[in-house]
Chain A
Amino acid sequence: MQLDEHLFRRESARMVAALTRIFGVHNLSLAEDVVQDAFCRALEVWKVRGVPDNPSAWLMATAKNRALDVIRRERTATTFAPEVSRMFDSEWTLAPVVDEAFASEVIRDEQLRMMFSCCDPRLKEEVQIALVLNILCGFGAQEIAGAFLAGRAAVEKRIARGKQSLATSQRLFDLTDDDVADRLPVVQRALYLLFNEGYHSVSADTVVRTELCREAIRLTELLAADARTGTPATCALAALMCLHAARLPARITGAGELSALSDQDRSTWDASLIAHGLALLDESARGADVSVYHLEAAIAAAHVQAPSVDGTDWHTVVELYDRLLAIAPSPVVALNRAIAVAQRDGAASGIAELEAISDADRLAAYPFYRAAFAELELRRGRTAEAREHFEAAMRLARNAAERRFFQKRVGCCGSDQ
């Protein structure tokens, strides 16, 4: 029996969800102890008897039994979850209640509630994301630090701070509350940032990056599948993630090299993920609401549906960027718009747009800003200027893959004479 590569991470998140339902969110660390205990037992038993046919079910059953032990031992001394704890006094009701917490639809629901609790607007976004990754995705501080290029100590602090805040709450966020609508955008934004971290991350570790994207998609799908949280904006967010993720294997080659859109082998884009993303985008079109996610997803859709860079509907893309700039102005959006304008109207127009970006100073450290100038200068035959910009981009490169990428582009600018 082969061990699934992410078994423990995935099951950790599900077990914590079930166990917090039983113990209460204020006993989160107790839930985590039980999970760790289940892992230790798994190691001892599996190495003697082999991996069971259904390792997930084995872990769940073990966690369930440990939970029963903990409750029987501590029910007089510890206050458990207010919603269910009165059922713990009698053996008649104890087992059914614990069983129910481990039912898959309950686990799904608890994960949603946990997601909303982690995305407390009183917590900084970086804390929200670290919490989501730790509790709902099972990543340890070390892995989170690796993905975010942050120090392990800093990440541990974020997680501790978040958990402290969770521990003081009486219960997990209630999805029947009226304030779901208020909290939902915060959750969407955290998932969006989580995805971007994976997709654009400066971390060179492609495995971690792919995993971050996959987890962001999984959680967003969880959000989309629930009637209370599956709004058009949620569907658009899920669509956007799928349409971007479909290009991920082509964007970073097996050797960890970045590949420009024009060089990507479109046949390696994930067709099923594209189809899924387009279906989600359709679904997001119910209602009149047009969110940032709708516009970004529509731009991504224009790219994945085009046969080539030249065959892309750049008129539509520019128009979408215009609308995006109107509701969410940012220099990076303006930069992408300028590149689209260059495709539509020619290199000179693109350069004019680049120069017109009002808050371009915020792009000073962003290597792809200089690279955009370089590409357009190269396109209109000014190789000396192009070389200079590429060299500047190279100096700003944030990792080895970016550096090699710009280095290669410098090589395309001809020799020095």
Chain B
Amino acid sequence: MSDYIYLFRTTADARRAAMGSPELAQQSMQRWLAWLRDLETKGHVKDRGQPLENEGKVVRGSKKVITDGPFPEVKDLVAGFMIVQARDIAQAAELAKGCPILEGDGAVEVRPVMAMNF
């Protein structure tokens, strides 16, 4: 088993739309919890990650300019992350197919954690 990071990518709009009415919020939450429970019972979850605030700062370039994160306009916002364990990248990607973020046109970026064999 190797470690893979899931980066959850979405837009601010899609994120709000998923919680747009109490009924939708209920459904989104239930889907997430069900997906996580499933991964967990199968022993794939190594670290659930940490919740991230919506807003932050961006430090950019050699001039080290600090700007507020203008996240509402960002088309591709990192909404969160977690670490899973899978046989190989193919399985890690397959497991990500159940992620509810995909319903709202978001994406899960699956990145192998570099193995250190020394």
* Residues on A facing B (Cβ under 8 Å): 3, 5-9, 11-12, 36, 39-49, 51, 138-143
Q: Name which residue of chain A comes closest to B35, CB basis.
A: A47
Residue of B with least CB distance to A11 = B22
Cβ of B26 and Cβ of A8 under 8 Å apart? Answer: yes
A contact face: mostly helix, strand, loop, or mixed: helix
Which residues does chain A contribute within 8 Å of B26, judged by CB atoms? 3, 5-9
Q: Which residue in B23, B52, B82 is a CB contact (below 8 Å) of A143? A: B23
Given contacts A42-B29, A46-B33, contact A8 B48 (CB under 8 A): no
Within the assembled complex, what's the spacing in Å between the Cα atoms of A44 and B25? 12
Q: Is B49 an interface residue (CB 8 A)?
A: yes
- Given A3-B30, A3-B33, A36-B16, is A43 in contact with B25 using a C-beta cutoff of 8 Å? yes
Nearest CB on B from A46, distance (A) = 7
Q: Does B36 contact A (CB under 8 A)?
A: yes
A3-B33, A47-B48, A51-B33 are contacts. A140–B80 as well, Cβ < 8 Å? no
Q: Which B residues contact A (CB, under 8 angstroms)?
A: 15-16, 18-26, 28-30, 32-33, 36, 48-52, 54, 79-80, 82
Q: Decide: B22 and A43 in contact? CB cutoff 8 A.
A: no
Q: Complex Cα distance A257/B79, Å?
A: 45
Bound Cα distance from A11 to B79, whole angstroms: 25
Interchain residue pairs with CB less than 8 A apart (27): A3-B26, A3-B30, A5-B26, A6-B26, A8-B25, A8-B26, A9-B22, A9-B23, A36-B19, A36-B25, A40-B19, A42-B29, A43-B18, A43-B19, A43-B25, A43-B29, A43-B32, A46-B29, A47-B51, A47-B80, A48-B48, A49-B51, A51-B33, A138-B21, A139-B21, A139-B23, A140-B23
A44 and B29 contact, Cβ closer than 8 Å, known pairs A9-B22, A139-B23: no
Give the residue of A12, A41, A48 whose beta carbon is less than 8 angstroms from that of B22: A12
Specify which chain A residues have a CB less than 8 angstroms from the CB of B32 in the assembled complex: 43, 46-47
Smallest distance from the beta carbon of B68 to chain A beta carbons, Å? Answer: 14
Residues of A within 8 A of B36 (CB): 47
A-B CB proximity, top 5 nearest: A140-B21, A8-B22, A44-B51, A138-B22, A39-B19
Instruction: Give the residues in chain A near B18, CB-CB below 8 Å.
Output: 43
Task: Specify which chain A residues have a CB less than 8 angstroms from the CB of B52 in the assembled complex.
Answer: 44
Cα(A36)–Cα(B24), bound, Å: 11
For B49, the chain A residues whose CB sits under 8 A away are 48
